[in-house]
Structure 1
């Protein structure tokens, strides 16, 4: 059962475009896990996550990442998974998760209890946080000396197309709807060029040994699942803002279902650094 940590607020009060309380959120989390979990877990192995570590998974959304961490750190370690809406981290039939679940707003300025941490990780979170640099500094300050911060976030401005190979009307429609989606994100304060600044932000937060890389699939069945769930979540807003019509959205969803679109994601930039001072 989730409990509250300081700074928790309802997701609907945050202006977050992709509300976790919508039914499509489950499909989005599953698709994101299929697309990006192997990449994320590779970075965990790079920094050496091991038995006994204390870890904070910030803005976890779903359960797959904290479950992996809990299995790796074992009974001697501890994993805290936080989000402003923790409903997708609850186990089946109310079964207890193998990690601690806390309602917590990473942008509120205070870390959750349980630190200092050997690892703090946030994926596809800070781009949506109003004061993202403050949130990043909070995460960095919650590390023990020698602990690692890994931040992974999208950079839609770096590669803005959902169909990079725009060779026909179906692809053009998909990219036009994606431009509408980006416009909605900007209205809510998302920084669509944030990912590329992560290495600099980690250094400015006082971290050392900073490294970064990028990844984005160009086509995958999970990309189609993610696109369908995303469009369904924002459909009403696209229409209300005059960015698309219901007919265009229905046509695009039919194109996605037909399987003929090579759908990509925005590049996900992964950056990691180590705290060296107490």
Structure 2
């Protein structure tokens, strides 16, 4: 396998794992989306002995769940450009590897029963190559499940913008989308997944969408995300420090009904 290609300092992931808010974001994302992810994988028939590749693993929750399902006779390869979380999951059926799916050669071995990526490709510059790498790594009959947000499909964080607190939340969410786009994120990527999976040669392609409209975990995720990107928002003139502090106080008050962007899940099988 080729050595990982170093990332350019100008194309860094906006929500990098090295920031102190990353762990909080991982936990909130897990609470919000793990049940949907696990339901999809169960429906695909995961069983003991399966070989799985979790792409852009981020936090440990999906990797740990996969390892439990495949058992000691299976294998879970967990890859990311930052594997600082790996101490929580390495060992047993889990192998952790630093890997950039948009730049690096496919992991050795291949022949996966399942390849899964959640909230990964929307941020990858060479999404076409990344998707091709994942599809080509499947065994015949293996499943690819890709789950990505589509912020352009539903751009608001407060669907019911009935007052100034909600308007401020939506202003900051617009600024966050601007920062994402400036880093190369495709804000309309989720809706493209069914077509892209078919173009990758997969069959039996299906898709659905899910997003919570209000939840304590939405509040936790939003506060952590705003703290994570506040310097970027201020530097770009997208928000002031006073607006950010006011928004964080509004979140803490519990008066905001915060949603997420739709999470679109698409899956298909290699013939």
TM-score higher than 0.5: yes
Deviations 1:193-214 (A, max 9, x none): 0000000000000000000000
1:154 to 146, 149, 156: 149
Tell me what 1:55 maps to: 52
Tell me what 1:169 maps to: 164
In structure 1, distance between residues paired with 2:117 and 2:10? 21
In structure 1, distance between residues paired with 2:9 and 2:224? 18
1:110 to 97, 100, 105: 105
Tell me what 1:16 maps to: 13
In structure 2, distance between residues paired with 1:114 and 1:12? 31
1:178 aligns with 2:173: yes
SS of 2:102 mapped into structure 1: helix
Tell me what 2:182 maps to: 187
Tell me what 1:84 maps to: 81
List gaps (5 residues or longer) in structure 2: none
In structure 2, distance between residues paired with 1:98 and 1:26? 23
Tell me what 2:207 maps to: 212
1:45 aligns with 2:42: yes
CA RMSD in angstroms, aligned pairs only: 1.6
Contact 1:153–1:268 (Cα < 8 Å) also in 2: yes
Tell me what 2:261 maps to: 266
In structure 2, distance between residues paired with 1:76 and 1:106? 26
Contact 2:71–2:93 (Cα < 8 Å) also in 1: no
In structure 1, distance between residues paired with 2:20 and 2:244? 18
In structure 1, distance between residues paired with 2:161 and 2:5? 42
Tell me what 2:126 maps to: 131
Contact 1:56–1:120 (Cα < 8 Å) also in 2: yes
Contact 1:109–1:138 (Cα < 8 Å) also in 2: no
- How far 1:7 sits from its partner (Å)? 2.1
- How far 1:5 sits from its partner (Å)? 7.1
Tell me what 1:251 maps to: 246
TM-score by length of 1: 0.94
The change in CA–CA distance for 1:24 and 1:147 in structure 2 (over 3 A counts) is: same
List gaps (5 residues or longer) in structure 1: none
